[in-house]
Homo-oligomer: A and B are copies of this chain.
Amino acid sequence: MDKKPSASQAPSERTRVKRYHWLADYDQDTVKAILDASPLAHVGCVLNGLPFVTPTFLWREGDHVYWHGSAAGRLFKALPDQDICITVSLLDGIVVARSAYNFNCNFRSVMLVGQATLIQDEAVKEEKLRNFVNGLIPGEWERLRPLHPKELKATALACLPITEASCKVRTGPPLDDEEDYSFPSWAGVIPVRYQVLPPEPDPRNLPDVSMPEDILRFRLG
């Protein structure tokens, strides 16, 4: 792994990666691939002066990401009046080097910054929520009890354009100082990934209900 600068350019100064800049990538395809690999995201939003970091499910449609929550929530109310930061990170391995200084991890991460908007149109909200559910499990929305209007009203939906985005990706073996390669310590990578286990049916499922094949199409990582 050479420490070459990234071929792509940062979309803004505040998204330009300073540390380990040779791992940086600003390519939209890389950004989108990482966003699509994990529904779990962390949203940073200042509330009462504190930069709250909230885990949430995030999904992408084209050049925007969406996430939802309770319309009564403090964080959703605070969202539109400030610039926020959303980070998606996937741990891919522990990189065991020959020195503690070069210990590392393999990972993929994206950082998005910008101003979020709340989607108010109920029809658009419902469409986006359907895309979220069907993005996790194809066709699932159509199998569910239809949404009540009061449920839609109680749900806040936020949107952020993928305009200011940066990502960092590290793969491969350790990168030790050249003189350390003669040090007699085992080096390598312990790969980690998400594993999807067999579905566990709800004990209260109706006796004549069978599991849709689509449930097995859920992927993560």
Chain A residues with CB under 8 Å of chain B are 14, 18-19, 39-40, 42-46, 48-55, 57, 69-70, 72-74, 82-87, 89, 91, 94, 96-101, 103, 105, 107, 109, 111, 113, 129-130, 133, 136-137, 140-141, 143-145, 147-148, 151, 155, 173-174, 176, 180-206, 208-212, 215, 218, 220
Interface residues of chain A: helix, strand, loop or mixed (majority): mixed
| Cβ-closest chain B residue relative to A130 | B100
Contact A193 B190 (CB under 8 A): no
Contact A186 B143 (CB under 8 A): yes
Give Cα A55 to B199, complex, Å: 30
**Known contacts A133-B103, A184-B209, A206-B182; A144 and B48 CB within 8 A of each other:** no
Identify which of B147, B182, B208, B212 contacts A101 (C-beta below 8 A). B147
